[in-house]
Amino acid sequence: MDVWKVISEGYNEQDAVDCGNRFLIGNGFVGIRGTLEEYRKDKQAACTLAGVYDKAENQTWREPVNIPNGFYAHIENPGEIESHTQCLDIKTGVHSRITEYKRAVLTIERFANMACVNTICQKITVIPKCAEVTLKCGIDSDVWDINGPHLMDLRAQGGEVISVSARTYEQDIPISVSERCDQTGYETVTENNSVYRVFKISEPFTVKRIIVINAGNEGVHENCGETLEGHTAVYESVAGTYDEMLEAHTAVWAKLWENSAVILKGDDEAQLALNYSLYHLHSIAPRHADNLSIAARGLSGQTYKGAVFWDTEIFLMPFFMYTEPETAKKLINYRIKTIDGAMKKAEEYGFKGAFYAWESQDGGAEGCTDFNVIDVFTERPVRTSFRDKQIHISGDIVYALLKYARWTGDNKIFDYGGIDLICACADFYKSRAYCRVGEKELEFPDVVGPDEYHERVDNNAFTNRIADLTLNYAKNRYKVRKPRLRDGIIEQFDGYFDLEDASLETVRSRLKHKREYWGTQSGVAFATQIIKQADVLAMMNLFPEDYTKEDFEKNWFYYEPRTEHGSSLSACMYALGACRFGRADLAYPMFLKSARADLDGGGKSWAGNVFIGGTHPASAGGAYMIVTQGFAGLKQEDNSLTLNPCLPKEIESIEFPVIFRGEKYKIKVTQNTSEIERVNNV
C-alpha cells in the first residue's frame, strides 16, 4: 500500500461531492475542491479564497467567496469513458487524473503552489485516438455558490493572458483570475463571463498553465489589475515556469513533512489516514497572512460560512504548536487582532469585555445567526442559541493562548495583546456570571456547552471549568461552581441526570425525517440524556490533571453510549479519554474514524435543511492529538516533556518530531519503550 497516495479507480458521477472533499488541494490562500476539471457548479466545483467574505444581495449572512475556476478543461465529444483514475499525492500536494475516453486519453496534473500562494498550476496532456480532438481549457465562472452570487461586474478577456475579473457585491473587493500558457495555436472564446482557449489536437499534446489569483484585500499582490494590461502586470510579477514552480512547491512540502511526519510502524492503514489528515492541515494553514485563522470546513467551500470556530483553538492548535509554532502564533494572533469584534459582541448583549464570535468571520465579526437551522418539516428557520449562549468560546481561546505560551515559551505574546485578551475574556465572564443570594460561588446559567443538542442549560461543566480558568488566570479569586457528581460521574449540566435515559437507538427511532435536527427544544435529543458530542470528556481531556484514571474510566463508560457522535469533533475526545485509562483498544477505532473522516466521506451533510458538508479539519487535528497525546502520551511538565505510551496492538511503534521551546525533539515509543531525543536547534 502506498501510504502517501489517495487513489480512486473508475468513474462514478455520484461520487462527485465526496471526491470534491477527498481530493482537495490548497495552500492556505486558496482551496480547490477535488472535482474533475470539466465539472461546474452542479457538481460543487469551487475555488475558495481564505478570508474573503461577501454577503450577496438580500441574503442574511456572509460566506467566503468562490472565484472563477482557472483549472477548467474538457475535451469536446470525447466518447465513452473506458478507464478513469484520480490520484492525490499527499506528500507533494499534487492532484492528477487520467481518463481514457474512446477518442482520446486525457491526463491532467494540478497543484496549488505552496511556494507562491496566489498561483495555481496545471499541466494537461491529450493523446488523440482519432484524427482530431478539441480541448477547451480556461477560466470558468460557473462555480458553486450557496448564497451567492457574490461576484459583480464579471469581465472575461482573451489574449496572451486570459482573465476574468470581478468585484464582490458587499465590499467591492476586486478579484481576478488570470492565466498564461506555454502553447500557441489556439482560438480564444469568451462566453458567459468565462474565457477559454480552444486547441485542435491531432497528435500528442501538452499545455502547461499558470494561473494567478488576486484578491484586493488579501495583502498578497494587491495590485489586482482591472484592465488587460493590469492583469498582465500582475501576471508578470509571478515569475517561473510550470516545472520551476513544481520544484519550488515540492520543496516547501518536503520541509513541512520534515517537521511534522509521524511514522506509525506496522500499520499502513493508520499511516495513510494520518498522513492524509496532516496533509489537510498543511493545505489550509494561512502561513501567508497575519490576519487569518482556519475555518471549520477548511478551504473546501462555503459551508459553515467559512467561519472560524473553537475547532481551531481546541483541535488544531496542538498540531501547529508541535510542528509549526510560527503558524500556531498566527492563529493566536488572529484572535488578538479580532478582539474588537468580540468586544462589540459583548456590548451588544449588555456584557463587559470580550465575547468572541461563535462563528468568526473577517475582523472577528459574528457570522452565526439566531436562526442557524432550517426545520425540515416546516422549512422555517429555527431559533438556535449557538450565537448568544455558547459562551465557552472566549475561554477556549484563553486556554489555547496559555497552552501556546507554555509550550513555546513565547511569553512576549502576553505583551502583544495576550494579557489584554485574557483580561477582556475574564471581564466578560465576570459580567455574565450569576451569584445566588447568600452564596459565594459563581454560576453560569442559560448556556450551550459543546453538546449542542441541549441548549440553554445551567452550569454546563465544560463551560464553568473554562470560565474558571479564565477568571482565575491571574489570581485565584473567583470560585466557579462545580457540577454535581453521582458515583464519580460528572453531571454535564444541572438536571442532566434527571432527563430521560433513553438509548441512542430509541431516540434515533423517534426521528420522523432523516435530515431532522436532533437539537433545539423540539428535537428528539433535548429531553433525553443523548448528547451530540463529547462534552464532559472534552473538559476532562483539557484538564487531565484534575482527574484520576478511574474518573476517566467511569465517565467514559457513562457518556460514550449516550453520545451520538453527531459532530466529527467527538470521536477524538473519547479516544484521548480511553488512552488515559489504558484502553488503546477502545481508542483505536475512534482514531481511524477521526483520521479517515474525509477519506471515507459520508459524514453528516445536513443540519435540518442547511448544507454542512465539506472537509473536517478538526477531526484531522483530533487524529494527530490521539497519536501524540494519547497513544504516545506526550505531556509537558513545565520545562520538559514526558511520555506515557498506550499503544494499540496494531501499531508497532510511533515516531515523530516536535518543536518544543525552540528546539527540535524526536519522540519514539514502542510497545515497551519510550524515548525523547533532542535533535538540533530549529
Catalytic residues: 452
CB of 507 to ligand BGC, least distance (A): 17
Measured from the CB atom, is 302 or 533 closer to ligand BGC? Answer: 533
Contact 676, 667 (CB under 8 A): yes
372 grid coordinates: 442557524
Measured from the CB atom, is 193 or 390 closer to ligand BGC? Answer: 390
CB of 2 to ligand BGC, least distance (A): 30
Among 319, 278, 299, 300, which residue's Cα sits nearest to residue 91? 278
**Per-residue contact string for residues 271-310; x = within reach of ligand BGC by CB under 6 A:** -------------------------x-------x----xx
522 grid coordinates: 423540539
d(CA 25, CA 23): 7
CB of 145 to ligand BGC, least distance (A): 21
Cα-based torsion angle of the residue sequence 277, 281, 284, 287 in order, rounded to the nearest 10 degrees? -160
d(CA 458, CA 424): 23
Measured from the CB atom, is 543 or 606 closer to ligand BGC? Answer: 606
CA angle 472, 421, 312 (to 5 degrees): 95
d(CA 525, CA 519): 6
Of these, 311, 324, 388, 396, which contacts ligand BGC (CB under 6 A)?
311
Among 5, 6, 1, 33, which residue's Cα sits nearest to residue 18? 33
CB of 304 to ligand BGC, least distance (A): 6
d(CA 88, CA 8): 9
d(CA 530, CA 398): 29
73 grid coordinates: 478543461
Measured from the CB atom, is 111 or 462 closer to ligand BGC? Answer: 462
**Per-residue contact string for residues 553-582; x = within reach of ligand BGC by CB under 6 A:** --------------x-x-------------
Measured from the CB atom, is 557 or 606 closer to ligand BGC? Answer: 606
How big is the chain by its Cα radius of gyration, in Å? 25
Of these, 256, 618, 623, 625, which contacts ligand BGC (CB under 6 A)?
618
d(CA 448, CA 472): 22
The number of residues that bind ligand BGC (CB under 6 A) is 12
453 grid coordinates: 443538542
Per CB under 6 A, 538 contacts ligand BGC:
no
DSSP state of 621: H
CA 506 → CA 354, 509, 511, 529, 607, distances in Å? 41, 5, 9, 12, 20
Q: Collapsing DSSP states into helix, strand and coil, what is residue 68?
A: coil
CB of 356 to ligand BGC, least distance (A): 13
CB of 523 to ligand BGC, least distance (A): 13
CB of 469 to ligand BGC, least distance (A): 19
Measured from the CB atom, is 63 or 452 closer to ligand BGC? Answer: 452
Measured from the CB atom, is 111 or 355 closer to ligand BGC? Answer: 355
List binders of ligand BGC among 443-462 (CB under 6 A): 450, 452
**Per-residue contact string for residues 461-500; x = within reach of ligand BGC by CB under 6 A:** ----------------------------------------
Contact 433, 351 (CB under 8 A): no
CB of 567 to ligand BGC, least distance (A): 4
Measured from the CB atom, is 622 or 645 closer to ligand BGC? Answer: 622
DSSP state of 481: P
The runs of H, that is alpha helices, within 560-611 are: 570-580, 584-595, 597-600
**Per-residue contact string for residues 642-671; x = within reach of ligand BGC by CB under 6 A:** ------------------------------
What does the binding site for ligand BGC look like in residue numbers (CB under 6 A)? 296, 304, 309-311, 450, 452, 532-533, 567, 569, 618
